[in-house]
Amino acid sequence: MTNKKLKFIDLFAGLGGFHKALNDLGHECVFASELDLTLRGVYKQNWGIEAQGDIKRIVENEIESIPEHDILCAGFPCQPFSKAGKQLGRDDDRGTLFDEIIKILDFRKPNYFILENVPFIKKHDNEETWKYMQDELSSLGYEVDYQIYSPQDFGVPQHRKRIFIVGSLYGLDHFSFDDIDEQKSPLIDIHQFVEEKPAIFKELPKPNQVFLKLWQTFIDQIPKDTKLPGFPIRGMEFGATYPYEKSYPLKLSAKNLGKYKGNFGVSLDGMSKAEQRANLPSYSRVEKVFPNWKRNYIRQNREFYEENKKHIQKIISEIAKSPSQSWQKLEWNVGDGERKIENYIIQFRASGIRVKKADFFPSLVCTNTQIPIIGWQNRYITREEGLRLQSLEGIQLPENDNAAFRALGNAVNSKIVRLIAEKLIQNKSDFISPEAKVKTLNGVIINSQNKKDLVYERTK
């Protein structure tokens, strides 16, 4: 790594995951942008820099206000490419923000860039999005490489896969992700990241605790020699008979649908179509044939119920009283582990109550309703624990907890960035000298009499 202080810019800066990594390596941030007003205030508080606002406006109207820099960093918005979103990609206004990065790279021609996004961006639109990105970056003279990492790869107990894309105007002969891979650690101790007695924490609300006890009773009623389902348990399918194999409920008339049973075995006879709809699982209120995975879940749940209803019928009638269908679903991701919900990491998700092994935390996401719960302490993770999971220890968060966890869910893991930057950012005096060295890179001659005036000529 170079001992020289280099200049970097931090686009879509958020809490400053890139900033922390490069600042710890001794480099200087000369420009930052962040659309969210609250996060701009927090960025100033943490890093002493006034982050600018809408980067599209800046690039369009005053790109020259972005200072010269050696390294461009950007965790550009992932929602257009996330599997959890609508996957609109570049058809989403946020998906075109990559083009603003290209314009800045073209205007300032920094030596390096490090980008971060969700892994699905590589597969989006049959890889057309990724091909477009590669072509744009290469056309500017950058050699590009990428790798997918998760904090858990490096001893941080969070499952959060992200693609890290790097580029260099000087080629990547000096850099290999293999060097980063050598720093992976299979040893993770989640308890080093969990406070035993935090001073400030948010307890799991009593209604949630009560409902977890209902599901614990459900588990306790299953015979020990019966394997707990690995598929998502859908309580509303217990007793249901509505059609799902070759047809779907809403295709039938109210009279014909009245021959069947809906949620938890309630008869649909004599109900209006609107009432019948309300007494069906939300995922069955469709107007097309169910996909195979959904049919499998329904079949598996109904078979499990028939085999075990004498044990679980009473507790299922209590679970049926929940006003939220998401609470009537349980995802037991523990396999043959001890059958105690309180021993594990828990999330209340739209897809159901998820119980997973206490080996690492699920990915922090920008939805504050999915903050992980430490079952053995009956509480949500604290702000400080969230910071540790993103390797952002010591920085300030927004005062509002919801805003804080949204910011953590959007943050870039600083440890991974630092590991990459340590290997990528080298002292380039050996590559480009004031005497105008010329280096050939992928068929492109970089004539560098002055870094500001790089000239690219395609070799024959």
Q: Which two tokens stand for residue 120?
A: 């699905």
Q: Which of 29, 73, 78, 366 is catalytic?
A: 78
* Phi and psi angles of residue 235, each rounded to the nearest 5 degrees, phi first: -55, -35
- Residue 174's CB is within 10 A of a number of other CB atoms, namely 16
Q: Where are the alpha helices (DSSP H) in 320-413?
A: 383-389, 401-410
Phi (first) and psi of residue 60, to 5 degrees: -75, -40
Helix (H) / strand (E) element for 166: namely strand 162-168
Measured torsion, CA atoms of residues 285, 286, 292, 298, in degrees rounded to the nearest 10: 10
Alpha-carbon torsion 134, 139, 145, 146, what sign? Answer: negative
Q: Is the dihedral of CA 270, 272, 278, 284 positive or negative?
A: positive
- DSSP per-residue codes, 174-228: T--HHHHHTT-B----GGGSS-SS-SS--BPPHHHHHHHHHHHHHHHHS-TTSPP
- Token pair for residue 177? 């992700």
The type of residue at 287 is E
Rg (CA), the chain: 26
CA dist 125 and 146 (Å) reads 18
- Is 78 catalytic? The answer is yes
User: What distance, in Å, lies between the first and last C-alpha atoms of the chain?
Assistant: 34
Return d(Cα 432, Cα 438) in angstroms, integer.
Answer: 7
Residue pair 349/382 in contact (Cβ under 8 Å)? The answer is: no
Give me the count of residues in the chain.
460
- Which pairing describes strands 233-234 and 373-374: parallel, antiparallel, or unpaired? unpaired
Tell me the C-alpha to C-alpha distance, in Å, between residue 161 and each of 151, 189, 313, 373, 408: 8, 19, 40, 20, 15
What kind and span of H or E run contains 344? none
Distance between CA atoms of 208 and 205, rounded to whole angstroms?
5
Residue in the structure block whose two tokens are 């083009």: 99
Residue with tokens 């050696």: 70
Whether residue 319 contacts residue 236, with contact meaning beta carbons closer than 8 Å, is answered with: no
Active site residues: 78
